[in-house]
Amino acid sequence: MKKSIGIDLGTTNSVIAFKDTSIRIVRNKDNEELTRSCVGLLNDEIVVGSIAYRLIERDPINTILSVKRLMGGAIKDKMVQDMIKSKYYSFGITELKGGTDDAVAVVLGGKQYTPEQISAEILKKLKADAEEKLGDQVTHAVITVPAYFTEKQKNATRRAAEMAGLKVKKILAEPTAAAIAYGIDNLKPGEPKTVLIYDFGGGTFDLSILNIADGQYMEAGTGGDRWLGGDDLDRKLQEIIEAKVCSLYNINKLQPLVDKLTVRNKYRFEGQMRFQTEMAKISLSSTNKARILIDNLLEDENGDIIDIDVTITREEFENSIKPFIQRTIDLIEQLLKEVGYDMSMIDSILLVGGSSCIPLVKKMLSDKYGNNKIKVSEKPMLSIAEGAGVLAHRLGDEYEPVIGDESAIEDISYSTNHNYFIEIHDNGEIRKELIIEKQSTLPADKTKIFKTLTANQKIAKVAIYADVEDGKDELQFLGYYPIEENLPLATELVFEFHLDLNESFKIYVYPRTDKTKKKEIILGRGGADHKALKTIDELVEKAVKEFKTVQGEDDLIQFITNKISEINNVGSQNINENKWHEIYYTTTEKFEEIKANEVGSSDLDRELYRAKRLLVEFGELINPFDRNSIIQLINSIESSDDLNEKDELIKKLEEKTDEYGLLNAALQIEVLANRILEVPTPNIGNTNKQADVNRLLQLFSDSKTKFLMKQTQEGKILVDEAYGIIHKYKDSL
């Protein structure tokens, strides 16, 4: 019988739980209850868990830690920038090539991976370990996330699970999972309790107020900070250690000496510092002193060995981390204010998460709220997984919910974690209007009426934002409503918003006078879908600014309207990643084609587009020197006002990109293959379209391989075969 498990996908550690007659933690292949949420590279093979974590001493550049902090993130986020600048994280964090907006990527083995792909590797291990221990196939899972995760972050978690071969029954808030585990053993039938879950983990801090009675869980409100956790305490403790060493040896700064070490010794030193700092933190929860000892690695400017042998007291540690714990108390007060609760209405504050084990946490909370209210979970690092395991069992092994299916989780009542806004264009100004308020009970519904901005408007943009850290509003998803008829200016359109128990949106739009035109808006939720839809948005704005004729704008709008109708008619569940890429490219090509025809510079625009596309799709395959040359040529062309200079530069750019013509041809094969699959084609004899597409995609892959092996002639033969197949469908393309 196929199994369903609960997974606490943590920043520092992950845990598996399974329930049949009772709930239990499933140990991994190393017989550990906690699996390190760490991914590394060992002999060119991706490894996960403790084996990856130990690689920090050998190869921290290729050891990915705390990837959960990057899920659904943007490169411009302040905290992402802090991670990039921090020496605590040695692996590369960059902007994703060809990604959406400023999407984040991490670098492993010189290749870019999305945070979802790295999380998928962790989930693959958890799935495989569970299957080995349970002796059966694991197909479904309830996966926990911080309560304040946005839909974009939750969707990133869903994509990671799909990549790992898991079907997600429910994305469950971590505090709610902890409350489920707590309620099973601690609440009597008919006994109502209001519990504040205080979840202080390795990388995130989470709060949730739940009213519990007879197995029913009603979430009254959520809060927290996804950038506050044990990692921050480790870094603070490391600062104390380094300051003590500097004082002991009369050194201004330790890092310059570390940087002078050989690469091997530098990695060993930084790895030892990380390991011993973490162990000291854990030790100081039960002892008054902890010793850090690192011998024979560090040298001073004279080449003399500096043996690090320092002792940290609990008092020193606690004084350094008080501001972090005070921050958690401030967040409790903020949450109480938001939901209109007084602490007298809270029966218990339940502490879960590894960082909650620090004695100062309980002391400061007790001093503030009274010792009787504070309850420490019996299994602070396991209870979240146990709650997820209980819900996974309750939902049934074969249950596979889709967004909007709420029937099987009706015994848990959720609330919204964010304020949600829609972008409004009003008299030439852009503003955001609140549609669903934070802490609203889920599911939540709202109907709004907005008016068309112009006569005969053809598309209405739907952009939804949520409030995130630092009081900023962040775009969560984007979609469009195609207007088929010619409507007068200020025609009223009805927008129906539905936010389900998974805090996932469905949006419907129709003219107020004709509900038969009601359509669900397909929303880009952070992947290739969002990239395609965001590009459409940008191109419409560029067309208004750059096109010289109204006809050009009309042609582009009509093309885009057709694409949007195609998307909405098919439905997002039936459009694969390749189709979204095809929409992105064809729309971009259409824009460049219209623009080139208008300004009479088609060679220049098309060559620039070809070069940029080459960089986006195959940047990692291009020689670094050539890649830099192409970027410099593009920048020079776009900044030059001299037509003669532009002509010379475009020739050089063409020569350089021609060296990678095989890659460009391969890219075109992939695009055309997917277009053949999607568009209606005539019946050509006994042609098997699916077989042709499969062969084209194989030729696409093989021609890339031939390029890497510098077998250009063989690659051209493959390209010729591909275009022979494509030619059969020329009338449809």
Q: What are the boundaries of each domain within the chain?
A: 3-187+378-412
Distance in angstroms (rounded) separating the CA atoms of residues 666 and 688: 22
Kindly tell me if the per-residue pLDDT of 596 is higher than 80: no
Residue 554 corresponds to which tokens in the numbers above?
């009309």
- Among 268-277, 315-324, 583-592, top mean pLDDT goes to 315-324
| pLDDT band at residue 360 under the 50/70/90 scheme | very high
| CATH topology assigned to domain 3-187+378-412 | Nucleotidyltransferase; domain 5 (3.30.420)
More confident residue, 692 or 202: 202
- Among 175-184, 305-314, 343-352, top mean pLDDT goes to 343-352
* pLDDT for 370: 93
By mean pLDDT, which of 200-204, 556-560, 602-606, 658-662 is the weakest?
602-606
Largest separation between any pair of C-alpha atoms in the chain: 85
| pLDDT band at residue 405 under the 50/70/90 scheme | very low
Strands of the 45-48 sheet, one edge to the other? 45-48, 39-42, 63-64
* Strand bridging mode 473-482 / 459-467: antiparallel
| pLDDT band at residue 407 under the 50/70/90 scheme | very low
Region 436-447 average pLDDT: 89
| pLDDT band at residue 143 under the 50/70/90 scheme | very high
More confident residue, 26 or 532: 26
Distance in angstroms (rounded) separating the CA atoms of residues 393 and 261: 53
By mean pLDDT, which of 213-217, 409-413, 610-614, 652-656 is the weakest?
409-413
Tens digit of each residue's pLDDT (9 = 90 or more) over 256-288: 888 888 888 888 888 999 999 999 999 998 999
| pLDDT band at residue 410 under the 50/70/90 scheme | very low
Number of H helices, E strands in the chain: 20, 28
* pLDDT for 398: 45
| pLDDT band at residue 161 under the 50/70/90 scheme | very high
Nearest CA-CA partner of 163 in 178, 143, 182 = 143
Kindly tell me if the per-residue pLDDT of 339 is higher than 60: yes
| Average pLDDT in the chain | 83
| pLDDT band at residue 395 under the 50/70/90 scheme | confident
More confident residue, 671 or 148: 148
| pLDDT band at residue 618 under the 50/70/90 scheme | low
Distance in angstroms (rounded) separating the CA atoms of residues 229 and 412: 27
Which stretches of 470-574 are DSSP H helices?
528-546, 550-570
More confident residue, 366 or 301: 366
* pLDDT for 23: 92
Contact 406, 170 (CB under 8 A): no
- Global pTM reads 0.73
By mean pLDDT, which of 186-190, 209-213, 655-659 is the weakest?
186-190
| pLDDT band at residue 567 under the 50/70/90 scheme | confident
Any long-range contacts for 49-55 (C-beta under 8 Å, 24+ apart)? 49/125
Kindly tell me if the per-residue pLDDT of 400 is higher than 90: no
For the chain, how are helix, strand and coil distributed in percent, rounded to 5? Answer: 50, 25, 25
Region 397-407 average pLDDT: 41
By mean pLDDT, which of 48-52, 305-309, 727-731 is the weakest?
727-731
Tens digit of each residue's pLDDT (9 = 90 or more) over 500-537: 877 788 999 999 998 988 888 888 776 677 778 888 88
* pLDDT for 411: 63
Distance in angstroms (rounded) separating the CA atoms of residues 438 and 630: 47
Is the previous residue joined to 175 through a cis bond, with omega within 30 degrees of 0? no
* pLDDT for 733: 54
| pLDDT band at residue 223 under the 50/70/90 scheme | confident
Question: Residue 444: helix, strand or coil by DSSP?
Answer: strand
* pLDDT for 576: 67
More confident residue, 601 or 366: 366
How many CB atoms are located within 10 Å of the residue 208 CB?
A: 31
| pLDDT band at residue 402 under the 50/70/90 scheme | very low
Tens digit of each residue's pLDDT (9 = 90 or more) over 122-133: 999 999 999 999
